[in-house]
């Protein structure tokens, strides 16, 4: 029984990541990696600062990865991805606008 589940999982992963591999799958994977990089950026910045901070690079990774994922969702006609990323991207852009607007004032965002 466990062997059957292992084989089924292996077949599924092969089908998803090898048999159906094309430009858009590669694009979507890169988009997801770019989006996920924001957590690494935030973690490193927080470790350097000694407390939890959200650097400007976090928002640029969010926006870039989110836009790329949105493009992927539109091309693949995935409504869940389209709705989620379209709304989230608005928030990322707004946060960047607020940071730039308040740059001269005391900001909670690191400038690195």
Say which residue the tokens 């852009």 belong to: 93
Say if CB 45 and CB 58 are below 8 A apart. Answer: yes
Say if CB 107 and CB 99 are below 8 A apart. Answer: yes
pLDDT at 104: 65
Q: What is the pTM of this model?
A: 0.77
> Is residue 99's pLDDT more than 70?
yes
* Predicted confidence band of residue 91 (pLDDT cuts 50, 70, 90): very high
pLDDT at 103: 82
For residue range 42-81, list pLDDT tens digits in order.
999 999 999 999 999 999 999 999 999 999 999 999 999 9
């Amino acid at each position: 029984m466990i062997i059957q589940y292992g084989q089924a999982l292996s077949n599924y992963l092969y089908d998803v990541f090898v048999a159906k591999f094309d430009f858009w799958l590669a694009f979507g994977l890169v988009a997801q990696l770019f989006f996920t990089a924001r957590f690494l950026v935030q973690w490193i910045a927080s470790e350097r600062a000694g407390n939890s901070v959200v650097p400007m690079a976090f928002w640029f990774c969010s926006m870039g990865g989110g836009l790329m994922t949105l493009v992927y969702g539109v091309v693949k006609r995935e409504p869940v991805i389209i709705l989620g990323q379209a709304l989230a991207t608005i928030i990322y852009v707004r946060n960047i606008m607020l940071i730039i607007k308040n740059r001269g004032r005391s900001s909670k965002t690191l400038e690195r």
